[in-house]
Structure 1
């Protein structure tokens, strides 16, 4: 690699690192901060299996770290819900129990709730809560969105053979994905590092099958670690899928052409 290329790679890495430092992270918020929260609800956001629904929704809220009071407004169209809640994720498939039942179901749903502990507030800020509207056709939920802090979002994944689907591999190789996505522009910037393998292909995939696999969405333009890239997600639905954990990074080798190490992006 030339000196110019090396300096360019270092510059890009520094730029990505600088951006990550200023992404949403609850540790950067003071104890009395009032933090804006948002999400978009859709059938594509449902877990563990997405659904096809004409319904759409939007959640905006504010959490006061000092008082733990959450104020929110949820609007929706295209469905007639029978139940609605904020849930907290507690299982590996991205689902969890009801934490905050909505006191009304007519759009707009406007409410306030006090979270029980500071740990619950941290969970909310770090993306472990989701808004879910249920219908008779989809009693487990017809439209859903993971609640997130408003602004650029940091994304991470750890790549290893154990994470490969539908079957894990015994690979000793490891990798890491770090990225930032701007919800307004849908621009995703990312860096993938790895060791222990020589990949012949690498991509971001989007899950669309029950076994947790899916087609290539974003091919990596290089395969030398660190892999540094920028791309624009084509639609708001793709952005929702990314926020709701439906994308994964995958590195493929001749020994494991379907993927040797993988990491689900969170």
Structure 2
């Protein structure tokens, strides 16, 4: 029996609080809790509120939503100021007075769209700006909220065609990155496939697409990766990013993996802010059938759509099915992952030896039997097939599954 199913992992555009964000946007979210206690000049105002800013690093424009309750005084002005927590700073962007707000009793709200930021992008992204609302009673500011950047998800898809000097390498790679702008802490998850040449180094560089730039943050050579055949995987956790925050978030940085054959870089991918929705979303395909010998394998197909990579868990289970009353199970399954050109990327027959095996318990969807198989990988967009077979010609009933999992 030869069963095939196809799963589409669909990527949705990121829906912001104010508008639909275009795919090319480089959006960073900042949030503020608004109250009188943050003012540097004493204020006894009972008003409190929240603000959410969506800042497009590439265009230096922002959308801002504000809600403030218990604000009885007429608003005489409101601004974005530059200043650290507890420090008064100058106005960099004017927003306006009572007329630009909507009032219902003592609750005021406002939506500002497409506002050009008048201050320093680097200062804003480092948490050095605040929202301030003024009244006649408190002309220096009645309530204030520090604008704090939220963690940013970034992605990169790597290949030889994107090198500043394009090459014919068949190697590909994908990375999922989390960056905290105000602390510059960065975590990079990366997988590289079909990398047949010795991997000599990997870095973040700064330059626009199509041009070469200098190294700003090193990751390392083959010794810092886990290698399986011609594939490599690594997690570089909680590092301090050595480059420029604005350039990283505006698409002006790239990941580069070097080899001895291509010392200037074998595969490269421009780093972009992810436009996927941040809500947790797990998609699954499950395919159960008989695994025999020869071409009697179990085939599960799935497609990663859109322009961003995804992290996927692919499993092949046999013996754990016995607990559900299934008889004649496959004693020792093996899973191999192939791309759209039928080229093998990875194979595994013991899940404890796969990339990221230590994370499987937290994910909660991995195999439970030591002789079952799993692949936890970051994949570029495209079509893939997972082939389940039996180690040493073993046969029986198996189940093949593929999940999208959050980094």
TM-score where L is the length of structure 1: 0.48
The structure number with the bigger radius of gyration is 2
Q: Decide which structure has greater helix share.
A: 1
TM-score where L is the length of structure 2: 0.33
